[in-house]
A = this chain, B = another copy of it.
Amino acid sequence: MKEQGAKERIISTACDLFYKQGYQATGINQIIEEAGIAKASLYQHFPSKEALLNEYLLITRLNNYEHLLQFTAKMHPGKQKLMGLFECRLERMETSNFKGCAFIRIAYELPGLNQEATAQVHAHTQGLKTFIEEQLLVIKHSFPKGELREMTDMLLNLYEGAGLQGYIQRSVKPMEDTKKVVRKLIATL
């Protein structure tokens, strides 16, 4: 039994490099070298570099979401899980050395994104939105539809804005400050 199949090595190496260095800055040759496979093997599993990109986005999205669920698994639904979203991001900012959100990076790096990749970016955002909305509904069961939406969007904007500022400044401070503000915001609900 092998340690890991060639395809798995390709994918995990590509995911690593695409996130660490960016998609454009990562060449096929670097991927095959670090994965320890032959170039022909790569093109047997993936028809193009773009196919690797789509696989990268899909896997990263599932991983991110899974990580969020595990991170907040033992928290109480509602306020605690909502704060957990921010804490989870804080943790990832540090462990990733402020590399930023994979989906936003791709969206800015490649203005002309293919359909499938675009769908992954949207799915990621929608996932965040849904998570926030669910917690808000737990906090305040009788949320008027319009206000729920408004609050969800606002929290998402704060979350993304703080993530962006943190990325630019290479600091957790914007996210920590935002966490405090959010705590105050949802305290009044």
Contact of A121 among B107, B157, B159, B168 (CB under 8 A): B168
Contact of A159 among B22, B108, B161, B178 (CB under 8 A): B161
> Which of A150, A153, A178, A180 gathers the greatest number of chain B CB atoms within 10 Å?
A153
Closest B residue to A107 by beta carbon equals B168
Q: Give the copy number.
A: 2
Contact B156 A157 (CB under 8 A): no
Contact of A104 among B108, B157, B162, B178 (CB under 8 A): B108
Per-position 1/0 for A142-180, Cβ under 8 A of B? 000000001001101111111011011100001001101
Contact B160 A178 (CB under 8 A): no
Contact A181 B154 (CB under 8 A): yes
Nearest CB of chain B from residue A185's CB, rounded to whole Å: 9
The size bracket of the interface on A is 35 or more
Contact B168 A157 (CB under 8 A): no
Contact B111 A108 (CB under 8 A): no
Nearest CB of chain B from residue A37's CB, rounded to whole Å: 26
Contact B21 A165 (CB under 8 A): no
> Which of A108, A150, A153 gathers the greatest number of chain B CB atoms within 10 Å?
A108
In the complex, A186→B53 CA distance in Å?
Answer: 43
> What would be 15 A-B contacts, judged by CB atoms less than 8 Å apart?
A21-B111, A22-B111, A25-B111, A99-B111, A100-B108, A108-B109, A122-B169, A125-B168, A153-B177, A154-B178, A154-B181, A156-B161, A157-B165, A157-B174, A160-B161
Q: A interface vs B, CB < 8 Å? A: 21-22, 24-25, 99-100, 104-105, 107-109, 111, 121-122, 125, 150, 153-154, 156-162, 164-165, 167-169, 174, 177-178, 180-181
**Given A22-B109, A160-B160, 7 extra CB contacts under 8 A:** A107-B168, A109-B109, A150-B177, A150-B180, A153-B178, A157-B161, A161-B161
